[in-house]
Amino acid sequence: MKKVNVVTLPGDGIGPEVTSVAVEVLKEACRHEGVEISVSEHLFGGISYEKHGVPVTDETLESCKKSKIVLLGAVGGPQWDNLSADKRPEAGLLKLRKELGVYANLRPIQVYPSLAGASTIKEDVIAETDILIVRELTGGVYFGEPRYTSEENGDPYSVDTMKYSRSEVQRVSRVAFEAAQKRDGRLCSVDKANVLESSRMWRKSILEIAGDYPDVELSHMLVDNCAMQIIRDPKQFDVMVTGNLFGDILSDAASMLTGSLGMLPSASLGGENGLYEPVHGSAPDIAGQGIANPLAAVASAALLCRYSLNLESAAQNIENAIQTVLKNGLRTADLYTEEPGTTLSNTQEIAHLLLKAVSEREMVSF
């Protein structure tokens, strides 16, 4: 059997619970394709701070770079909210993204038919929505320099810098153009070019390369309008490309189309590296209770098969297993709406059905 090593960083809160389900499902789906997954697990985020005094150690970073494939749970929690900026769990995540150079963050927003009723938005508005958000992940205001806090006439102030270079915009845009070529051929670039210099650079830079993709229809939208359009008529979008901060905000908004933030997977790609993480956070309020929704972590494992292992059939096997769980009416609390034919379920029960579906490679019924 071919062997592949994956680094797992379960992290904080519900991270470990959902990651362990994702790992089991990943191993099973890959075993079917003749690939044996071995896992090296490391502390990451708040739990790493507790043991090592930093959210990510150099050793952990090295091991991620060596493996090139990383599956992450979630980081953060109220007990670490008052740490200095560089010690916070989130700082570990940003450092990991930067060091791995994973500049293109793919966040597919897919509405599963059996969940259309779980969204707070009307069913006919969201039905069949299928958007791919490509968020720039290693630049923009998240990383721009200078950033500091100072004081002027006794009035403290802080500065962050939103900076985008042509090359940064063009490399992530190429990922988005290529994705659009494989989908419906439409790409919407989202910016704030009516106000921000960095957005005008963004728009100019993407226009410069648009000619390389004559089969893709490129449009531009201002981010405030986009936030509204995502809720008003999400079906108008195919692929969307945007900067780090706008993508962060728009993807949380778009997640509600799927019924829950607990449904959204993500893949962060750059060079040969792939970092896979659910979009949801560590949800400390429900951690350790066995009720977390593992489906976003499991769907992230499917993306890992697709993009890092080139095992499309394993990816589809996992995605079918998710559909099976939903069709069977199993819902974690974040998705449960007392709809007839559904039952309130938990992490373990869902894990069990996922594994059964993956190993049988077909729709199983309860």
> What are the residue numbers of the active site?
142, 192, 224, 248, 252
Residue 89 preceded by cis peptide, ω within 30: no
Select from 98-106, 160-168, 246-254, 337-345 the region that touches Mn ion (CB under 5 A): 246-254
**CB nearer ligand IPM, residue 16 or residue 314:** 16
Q: Give the integer Cα–Cα distance in Å for 262 and 317.
A: 20
- Candidates 136, 168, 191, 248; binder of Mn ion (CB under 5 A) is 248
Nearest distance from residue 297's CB to ligand IPM, in Å?
A: 13
Asked if 101 and 23 touch (Cβ cutoff 8 Å), the reply is no
**CB nearer Mn ion, residue 248 or residue 334:** 248
From residue 251 to residue 270, the character string flagging contacts with ligand IPM as x (rule: CB under 6 A) and all else as - is --------------------
From residue 5 to residue 44, the character string flagging contacts with ligand IPM as x (rule: CB under 6 A) and all else as - is ----------------------------------------
Q: 237-264 burial string, b = 16+ CB within 10 Å, else e?
A: bbbbbbbbbbbbebbeebbbbbbbbbbb
Nearest distance from residue 282's CB to ligand IPM, in Å?
A: 9
Nearest distance from residue 93's CB to ligand IPM, in Å?
A: 5
State the sign of the Cα–Cα–Cα–Cα dihedral 234, 240, 243, 248.
positive
DSSP 1: -
**CB nearer ligand IPM, residue 90 or residue 168:** 90
Q: Give the integer Cα–Cα distance in Å for 93 and 76.
A: 10
Does 90 participate in binding Mn ion (rule CB under 5 A)? no
DSSP 310: -
From residue 270 to residue 289, the character string flagging contacts with ligand IPM as x (rule: CB under 6 A) and all else as - is ---------x----------
**CB nearer Mn ion, residue 10 or residue 247:** 247
Does 93 participate in binding ligand IPM (rule CB under 6 A)? yes
Question: Can you read off the two tokens belonging to residue 128?
Answer: 């069949």
Select from 161-169, 240-248, 258-266, 313-321 the region that touches Mn ion (CB under 5 A): 240-248
| Phi, psi of 54, rounded to the nearest 5 degrees | -140, 150
Query: Residue 157: beta bridge partners?
Result: 150
Residues contacting Mn ion: total by CB under 5 A: 1
The item of Mn ion, ligand IPM, none sharing an interface with residue 17, based on CB under 5 to 8 Å by kind, is none
Q: Give the integer Cα–Cα distance in Å for 235 and 109.
A: 11
Tell me the longest C-alpha to C-alpha distance in the chain. Answer: 69
Nearest distance from residue 238's CB to ligand IPM, in Å?
A: 21
State the sign of the Cα–Cα–Cα–Cα dihedral 294, 269, 97, 201.
negative
- Candidates 12, 24, 90, 136; binder of ligand IPM (CB under 6 A) is 90
Q: 187-208 burial string, b = 16+ CB within 10 Å, else e?
A: bbbbbbbeeeebbebbeebbee
**CB nearer Mn ion, residue 136 or residue 248:** 248
Which CA distances in Å does 39 have to 6, 30, 229?
5, 13, 41
Does 248 participate in binding ligand IPM (rule CB under 6 A)? yes
Helix (H, G, I), strand (E, B) or coil at 163: coil
Nearest distance from residue 154's CB to ligand IPM, in Å?
A: 32
Q: Give the integer Cα–Cα distance in Å for 168 and 201.
A: 10
Q: Which residues contact ligand IPM by CB under 6 A? A: 90, 93, 248, 279
Q: Which residues contact Mn ion by CB under 5 A? A: 248
